[in-house]
């Protein structure tokens, strides 16, 4: 009888083991993985390329002008005493270059032009050589909130015997990679070096502040405590020009000191 009881216990244990093994096998079977099908006609390479383009999209959408100037910096433009942009004023400079008589008139118009979100003032500058008009240019300037005079480009026309021969000097900030620069600083300090304009290969003028107490005598009068700057361009090596400005007056004198002999002096200021 004892042996029968042992046998029965063994059978019960064997049955329990079989049930446990069966459940373990079911749990170990992996769930079926459903693979998402690609749309017809779309390859893996195209999906990868689309993902790459999406990642680059923010950079592509960035406008070049966003990295140049902030229009809010010009909302309360401060007049620069060294280069006043008073509408209706004409600066008249006269001098010589290579034996020819030169006359330059710079007229501050009441016209404006919006460039890169900034309202610029249109300044018309004309140059005559021995009485003959050789250049007629519309420059675009703007004062920022710190009194810096920014140069946003120009529409330049050169003439010979009354005929238009070139517009090569023309450029506009924000177009074809061109960037504005500072023509005259609002708070210049000796040693300051800055870019006045930038249009690669065409307009790359630079300037440096040389003095804040220069004395200058021109036909228009005698002035001291003048701003003196040096200007040059990497596009014309071996050429250097000095300019002088009087606070409350404006440009007084332009003089080539290396690579030329041109000298222009202020002879009159005409106001309307």
Report the CATH number at residue 172: 2.40.360
Please indicate, yes or no, if residue 49 is contained in any of the structural domains: no
- DSSP string covering 239-260, please? -EEEEEEETTTEEEEEEEEES-
Domains: count for the chain: 1
pLDDT at residue number 15: 52
Q: Per mean pLDDT, which range of 26-40, 94-108, 201-215 is the poorest? A: 26-40
Q: Is the pLDDT of residue 56 over 90?
A: no
Please indicate, yes or no, if residue 137 is contained in any of the structural domains: yes
Are 182 and 196 in contact by the 8 Å Cβ rule? The answer is: yes
pLDDT at residue number 68: 78
Residue 194 structural domain: 69-271
Q: What is the mean pLDDT of the chain?
A: 84
How far, in Å, are 2, 5, 16, 270 from residue 9 at the CA level?
Answer: 11, 6, 11, 125
Please indicate, yes or no, if residue 124 is contained in any of the structural domains: yes
Pick the residue with more confidence: 130 or 4?
130
Please indicate, yes or no, if residue 182 is contained in any of the structural domains: yes
Please indicate, yes or no, if residue 21 is contained in any of the structural domains: no
Are 91 and 255 in contact by the 8 Å Cβ rule? The answer is: no
How far, in Å, are 7, 15, 16, 182 from residue 2 at the CA level?
Answer: 9, 21, 22, 112
Please indicate, yes or no, if residue 52 is contained in any of the structural domains: no
Average pLDDT over residues 219-234: 98
Please indicate, yes or no, if residue 231 is contained in any of the structural domains: yes
Please indicate, yes or no, if residue 22 is contained in any of the structural domains: no
Q: Per mean pLDDT, which range of 1-5, 16-20, 89-93, 156-160 is the poorest? A: 1-5
Average pLDDT over residues 135-152: 98
Are 181 and 141 in contact by the 8 Å Cβ rule? The answer is: no
pLDDT at residue number 23: 53
Q: Is the pLDDT of residue 217 over 80?
A: yes
* CA dihedral of residues 222, 227, 228, 229 (deg, nearest 10): -150
What residues have CB less than 8 Å from 158, skipping those under 6 apart? 134, 135, 164, 165, 166, 167, 168, 169
| Stated pTM of the model | 0.75
Q: Is the pLDDT of residue 156 over 70?
A: yes
């Amino acid at each position: 009888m004892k042996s029968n009881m042992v046998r029965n216990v063994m059978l019960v244990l064997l049955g329990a083991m079989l049930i446990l093994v069966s459940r373990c096998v079911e749990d170990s079977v992996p769930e079926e993985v459903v693979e998402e099908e690609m749309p017809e006609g779309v390859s893996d390479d195209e999906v990868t390329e689309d993902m790459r383009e999406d990642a680059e999209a923010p950079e592509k959408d960035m406008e070049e002008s966003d990295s140049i100037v902030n229009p809010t910096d010009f909302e309360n433009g401060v007049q620069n005493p060294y280069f006043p942009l008073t509408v209706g004023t004409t600066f008249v400079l006269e001098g010589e270059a290579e034996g020819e008589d030169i006359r330059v008139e710079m007229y501050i118009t009441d016209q404006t032009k919006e460039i890169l979100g900034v309202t610029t003032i249109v300044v018309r500058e004309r140059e005559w050589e021995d009485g003959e008009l050789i250049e007629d240019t519309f420059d675009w300037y703007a004062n920022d909130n710190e009194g810096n005079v920014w140069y946003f480009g120009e529409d330049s026309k050169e003439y010979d015997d009354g005929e238009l021969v070139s517009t090569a000097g023309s450029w506009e900030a924000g177009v074809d990679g061109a960037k504005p620069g500072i023509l005259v600083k609002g708070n210049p300090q000796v040693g300051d070096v800055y870019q006045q304009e930038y249009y690669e290969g065409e307009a790359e003028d630079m300037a440096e502040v040389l003095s804040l107490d220069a004395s200058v005598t021109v036909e228009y009068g005698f002035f001291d405590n003048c701003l003196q700057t040096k200007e040059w361009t990497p596009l014309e090596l071996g050429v250097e020009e000095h300019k002088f400005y009087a606070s409350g007056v404006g440009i007084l004198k332009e003089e080539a000191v290396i690579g030329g002999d041109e000298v222009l002096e202020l002879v009159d200021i005409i106001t309307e």
